[in-house]
Amino acid sequence: MSPNAVRSASEPDPAARLAQVMAVEAKAPQVASWESMATAQDAGATAPIAPPPGLDTALFTSDDPRARRDLRDQIAGLERELCSIVAAALDGHGVGVQPARGRGAGARILSTDELERMRDSLAGAVQSARRELSARAEDQSSARALLERMLADPSTYRWVRVSNSDLGEPGCRHWHSRPRFGLFGVLCNWWRVKVSSGCPLARGRPVRAPLIRRRPVSELVRVRP
């Protein structure tokens, strides 16, 4: 408020109002330990109670230990559910959950508000993970149906390729609808599904003896006596 503004008689004097608030806060009981705070709460104290030194949270304004315990139990259940969904999807990426404080902040006792925000954030993450898993399952089901149709009628699905990753299975296998005998097959409408087994084995191919034994030159050249 500008110092030059005209203040009406009904408006309270800001300085007097500040003094009134400070007087109320000065009368609030100062509690130095957890035990005395619990005693004060049990006695039905209504004024805000100061936290123990070093515990700078909103814990003591309107917090109830039972509410915090319930919220922690809910967070535990949601976290376990989220872990099982992520593991089921074989997706190692972390799900974005808003932490209670900024990144890199240390572990501490969270207030009820912070626990509620954490719980809501986790619940949202569980829902989005479920949706993603469900969408992925639908895509895999569609890919399996496509593969069956492709195997039944390759010429309808020309050049279509379906891989193991589309089906949600491990490995590098591909099914590819290709023409027989190249261009001739395209002209004659001869199509087939070629299955590619993917990457070679890590241990390499076994060494086999050659089908045609090559004789050394000395055996081929006959020396006439």
Partner 1 sequence: MSGAADRGDDAVLEGAVAPELAAEFPGLRLVYCEARVPEGKRSSAAVRDRLRLLADRQAGAQAVHLREREIPSAYRVFLRQVGVDPDRDPSPVERLMLERMREGSLRSEGPVSDALRIAVVETEVAMLALDRAAVDGELHLRLSGEGEKAALGESALDAGTIVLADRSRALVEPFGQPSVPEGCSHCLFVAVGVVGVPAPALSEGLWCARAALES
Site residues (vs partner 1, CB under 8 A): 34-35, 52-57, 65, 68, 72, 75-76, 79-80, 83-84, 86-87, 90-92, 94-95, 97, 99-101, 103-110, 114-115, 118, 122
* Rounded least distance, CB 135 to partner 1, Å: 19
Enclosing H/E stretch for 195: strand 191-196
Q: Which residues pair with residue 162 across a beta bridge?
A: 175
CB of 72 to partner 1, least distance (A): 5
Of the pair 79, 132, the CB lying nearest partner 1 is at: 79
At its nearest, how many Å lie between partner 1 and the CB of residue 28?
A: 20
Would you say 164 and 140 are in contact if contact means Cβ atoms under 8 Å apart? Answer: no
Q: At what angle do helices 65-88 and 112-152 cross, to 10 degrees?
A: 20
Return the structure tokens found at 13. 């004097």
Question: Given the complex with partner 1, which of 1 and 90 has the nearer CB atom?
Answer: 90
Q: Tokens standing for 142?
A: 């569609």
> What's the min distance (Å) between Cβ of 21 and partner 1?
24
| CB nearer partner 1, residue 21 or residue 87 | 87
Name which of 78 and 193 has its Cβ closer to partner 1.
78
In whole angstroms, what is the distance from residue 168 CA to residue 172 CA? 11
Radius of gyration for the alpha carbons in the chain, expressed in angstroms and rounded: 37
